[in-house]
Amino acid sequence: MKIAVLQAEATVLDLEANLRVVDAAARRARQDGADLLLTPELFTCGYSPELVRQRLTAEDLRLIADRAAAIARRHGIALVYSAPRQGAGGRWHIAATLLDDAGRAVLSYDKVHLFGDEERRAFAPAEDAPRVVEHGGLRISLLICYDVEFPESVRAASDQGAELLLVPTALGAGFAAVPNILLPARALESQVVIAYANHCGTESGLEFGGESVVAGADGSLLARAGTGPDLVHAVVDSALVAAARERVPYLRDRRPDLYGRWGGRPTG
């Protein structure tokens, strides 16, 4: 499967403008032979958690979902988009959805690890583990931004058989170690391909770092963006994931029977 990763600057609360950017990226990605387009966290509405939570309506959320599905259908490309989601009891979550090339939702995920006070004031943390779906000859899972910085999240997806982990993100400038060091390490230790799509530019006063990446299951970088707008591509092959797992059998050689006994909190 050939995937495309969008890196761009969103306009906060201008849904139409942001969806036009996604539409143009989907058209270009499909022309370049990509089967799937990954977009950044909350890109459809722009990243400004409290403002988005205050201003967006249920009708806005339906519009985003309908337009995203139309984009996938129009260009015949699978699409991962991120937007708020209203859950049980009126709680709002940061969500990501994988659409197939007919615009049908095949996988969804709500963010578990919220980052910073503003996200925690605006949204509720989810609790459900990442799920895995078969799509395009690969087993695919979703996480969102800060989630991928926790080894438990990535390992939970890997334990369910994920070969490709798609991660919309909104990583601020000054955290270059995440895409350059942490992401390749996460991919290597859990032996999954991780695609990570970030914003660039400035939204509501927050400067984003860009540097979207695709990290291979062997820890190598398959694609990397700079700090400005970009659309990068990588080919993900399940045979290469299997080869990485065979070469260094981290997953096979784990000893979870021991780790449970090691998990107590220190007393000293």
Which positions are annotated as active-site residues? 41, 111, 145
Q: Residue 188 phi/psi, 5° resolution?
A: -70, -45
Q: Angle CA(164)–CA(64)–CA(108) in degrees, nearest 5?
A: 30
139 has which bridge partners?
134
How far out from the chain centre does Cα 75 lie? 21
**How many CA atoms within 13 Å lie on the side-chain side of 182?**
17
The answer to whether 40 touches 34, Cβ cutoff 8 Å, is no
213 has which bridge partners?
196, 224
Beta strands in 184-242 (DSSP E): 193-197, 202-203, 206-207, 213-215, 221-224, 230-235
CA distance 18 to 231: 15
**DSSP code of 171?**
P
Q: CB neighbours of 96 closer than 8 A, spacing ≥ 6?
A: 41, 80, 81, 82, 108, 109, 111, 142, 144, 166, 168
**How many CA atoms within 13 Å lie on the side-chain side of 186?**
33
CA distance 25 to 38: 10
